[in-house]
Chain A
Amino acid sequence: MRLYSLFRLTGLLLLAGLASACQPLFEPEPARDPEAIFEHLWHTFDAHYAPFEARGIDWDAVYAVYRPQVTPASSDSELYRALTGMLGVLDDGHVNLSAPDRPVFRSNFWFRELEGDSLFDLQTVQARYLLPGSVLAEDRAFLHGMLEGGIAYVWFDYVGENWNIMPELLDRYEDAKGLIVDLRHNQGGDFTYAFSNMGRLTAEDRLIFSSRTKNGRGPEDFTDWYSWTLRQSGPFWDKPLAVLTDRFTISAGERAVMAFRALPQALLIGDTTNGATSTMISGELANGWHYTIATQEVRMFDGKSCEGVGIAPDIRIQNTREGIRQGTDAVLERAAEELRQ
């Protein structure tokens, strides 16, 4: 009898499992024709792109312009032209489209046209300005050294584990008159590495920025605002700081700039940052192409958004092509001058 009961229990469990599996297992996948691909990408951005308002974009109007360009007979090239045209309107450093045998499409003007890309040259910095003994990481993740006049210098290629060297540098250049943190052409990455290694540069905990992420398809579907704070840790490195920025300082690089912006001893010098302060995620389209999308709204410690605008420097100065050709870096020279005063 007990054996019969156990068989019956097993049967009930199997039935419950089958009932659960009665619905179709997978959701329908997006179709592969050009119109469906356009619709899928437009609707994905409509639902999940966060900074429409900050960038002043009327996404429905963008649809009205680009949707008619795609028909069931559109070729790959025609579809690509329509999709890149649509994404180009966003002018967002976090929006990209990748397709076979083409360069990655960058929605952002600066990264697409590379306007001003050549106005920063790391070789010039190291060869002309850094005293012997400078260190360039093997993977080119950072460069540090001393300038004449007792000014320490560090450049970071991106924000990641390379920032773990910061505490060591603050010890190493303890006697410097000041520190130049060069974030020009900083590619971004994981800003938490910057925050966790900047604890000695602040005398107290400071709110840096707040952010919230889309968590639904509706225009107001966001998580709560989340505050990111720079925590004080270790003995305060009480020296003036100059932070160098340009139009190619992006994403986590800009969040690091926000942290320096909150420090009273820091001066921002150079050009405005890119203005892409969200995080981004990536996705795939039915034809195998890939895209990225920005999913956060960000407000700096003063409550203002710099999305699409960038973080303006305290002292605006740009290198010139002629200057770079002659091996000079006017931005760096100005920063050193400011710190020597």
Chain B
Amino acid sequence: MKYRWMLAGWLALCCWLPAAAQQPAARHRLSLSLGLNALARQDLIFSPFVHRNLSLSGAALGWERERNALGWLSLRYAGFAPQHRTPYSYWWNPGQQRYATGPHSFTFVELEGGWAHAWTRGSLTLRTGAAAGQLLQALYYANGPFSMFGYFAALGAGPWTGIEWRPARRCVLDASLHWPLLSWTARSPYLVNDDAFIENTLSHHPVRTVLAFLADGALEGPHQLQLLTASGRLRFRLSEAWDLGAGCRLQLIRHAQPLPLRSVQQHLHLEAGYRFGA
């Protein structure tokens, strides 16, 4: 029961941070970005190999609220289908149907909320604040005729810093960096399918199972989990309301227990934004 409260509290924090930026006459911006995702991931719980994949199935929805302070909430999705070697066909018994091997399937969902105060000098603005994020990775490893399921989740909070430069009236270039200092981290066990894992699936209900997996996590500091997210964007104002831009995002994950996990994820995207408010 306690982990439900924990998760509810975390969601509340994610939403409260951007709300903290609420000020009279604030401007809002809604954005949608779509683009290319690249992943290189090595998770020794599942495989000693680095799984790489380029994928177009990535999207993000964002909401920003800005005056002197900036608040934001974003929801990201990325899907990957890496395959270690070329597919092949196999069959179970002589004369039976042939099957083909398929790729693994990784689904990443990330919710992030943050708040940052701004200092402006000329065309340069520096922002510092804090962000809280929830990263959920569902991992389906299709090892030929066999498969297994795993997960990685990190609910973290830490400093966020960003810089914005306006070289021209209609043009904005920004970059940001976020590194959770404290994270509630949950990962598949050492050999994926132990009794604790099976017990967590006892409800046979997807949401309860995810909550049970999360509950098995632990609070970790930056010496245990390094999760660094850097991003940059270039946006052009098309009108008072609309802007269009392009950006890139880099996320690095290093985690050690129960076995090393290394992940590099890059996202190149096009972004459309709609501004409203005062």
Distance to closest chain A CB from B278 (angstroms): 26
A196 proximity list for chain B (CB < 8 A): 202, 204
Given known A196-B202, A290-B143, contact A27–B90 (CB-CB < 8 A): no
B147 proximity list for chain A (CB < 8 A): 282
A14 proximity list for chain B (CB < 8 A): 177
- Residues of chain B from 60 to 112 with CB closer than 8 A to chain A in the complex: 84-86, 88-94, 101
B179 proximity list for chain A (CB < 8 A): 13, 16-17
Select B141's contact among A100, A215, A226, A282, beta carbons within 8 Å. A282
Select B92's contact among A2, A103, A279, A281, beta carbons within 8 Å. A103
A193 proximity list for chain B (CB < 8 A): 204
A286 engages B49 (CB within 8 Å): yes
A223 engages B194 (CB within 8 Å): yes
Select A27's contact among B40, B44, B119, beta carbons within 8 Å. B44
B90 engages A98 (CB within 8 Å): yes
Interface of A is mostly: mixed
A223 proximity list for chain B (CB < 8 A): 194-196
Q: Is A108 an interface residue (CB 8 A)?
A: no
B46 proximity list for chain A (CB < 8 A): 283
Q: Is A10 an interface residue (CB 8 A)?
A: yes
Task: Classify chain A's interface size.
Answer: 35 or more
B204 proximity list for chain A (CB < 8 A): 161, 192-193, 196
Q: How far is the CA of A2 from the CA of B42 in the complex (A)?
A: 41
Q: Is B262 an interface residue (CB 8 A)?
A: yes
B3-46 vs A, Cβ < 8 Å mask (1 yes, 0 no): 00000000000000000000000000000000000001010101
Nearest residue (CB) in A for B51 is A284
- Residues of chain A from 254 to 291 with CB closer than 8 A to chain B in the complex: 279-284, 286-291
Q: How far is the CA of A305 from the CA of B130 in the complex (A)?
A: 54
Selecting from A18-26, A145-153, A235-243, A317-325, the interface stretch reads A18-26
Distance to closest chain A CB from B275 (angstroms): 26
B88 proximity list for chain A (CB < 8 A): 99-101, 288
Given known A100-B90, A288-B85, A295-B191, contact A3–B119 (CB-CB < 8 A): yes
Distance to closest chain B CB from A103 (angstroms): 5
A100 proximity list for chain B (CB < 8 A): 88-90
Nearest residue (CB) in B for A286 is B49
Q: Is A165 an interface residue (CB 8 A)?
A: no
Select B91's contact among A96, A104, A281, A288, beta carbons within 8 Å. A104
Q: How far is the CA of A196 from the CA of B208 in the complex (A)?
A: 16
Distance to closest chain B CB from A49 (angstroms): 10
- Residues of chain B from 105 to 146 with CB closer than 8 A to chain A in the complex: 119, 121, 126, 128, 141, 143-146
A3 engages B126 (CB within 8 Å): yes
A9 engages B161 (CB within 8 Å): yes
B195 proximity list for chain A (CB < 8 A): 211-213, 223, 226, 228, 296
Q: Is A134 an interface residue (CB 8 A)?
A: no
Given known A190-B201, A288-B85, contact A98–B191 (CB-CB < 8 A): no
- Residues of chain A from 176 to 217 with CB closer than 8 A to chain B in the complex: 190, 192-193, 196, 211-216
A/B pair count, beta carbons within 8 Å: 161
B144 proximity list for chain A (CB < 8 A): 98, 104, 282, 284, 289-290
Q: How far is the CA of A7 from the CA of B177 in the complex (A)?
A: 13
B146 proximity list for chain A (CB < 8 A): 96, 98, 280, 282, 290, 292
Nearest residue (CB) in B for A293 is B191
Q: Is B245 an interface residue (CB 8 A)?
A: no
Q: Is A64 an interface residue (CB 8 A)?
A: no
Distance to closest chain A CB from B12 (angstroms): 26
Nearest residue (CB) in B for A98 is B144
B177 proximity list for chain A (CB < 8 A): 10, 13-14, 17
Distance to closest chain B CB from A33 (angstroms): 15
A192 engages B198 (CB within 8 Å): yes
Nearest residue (CB) in A for B264 is A25
Select B262's contact among A26, A98, A190, A228, beta carbons within 8 Å. A26
Nearest residue (CB) in A for B46 is A283
A54 proximity list for chain B (CB < 8 A): none
A10 engages B94 (CB within 8 Å): no
Given A17-B177, A193-B204, A213-B194, 20 other A-B residues pairs in contact with their CB atoms under 8 A: A10-B128, A13-B161, A14-B177, A21-B252, A27-B42, A30-B48, A48-B191, A96-B145, A98-B90, A100-B88, A100-B89, A190-B198, A192-B202, A213-B190, A215-B189, A215-B191, A216-B190, A288-B86, A290-B101, A290-B143
5 A-B interface contacts by CB (under 8 A): A20-B222, A27-B42, A100-B90, A215-B189, A287-B85
8 tightest Cβ-Cβ pairs between the two chains A and B? A288-B85, A290-B144, A100-B88, A282-B146, A226-B195, A213-B194, A282-B143, A98-B144
Measured CB to CB, the residues of A under 8 A from B are 2-3, 6-7, 9-10, 13-14, 16-17, 20-21, 25-27, 29-30, 40, 48, 96, 98-104, 114, 161, 190, 192-193, 196, 211-216, 223, 226, 228, 279-284, 286-292, 295-296
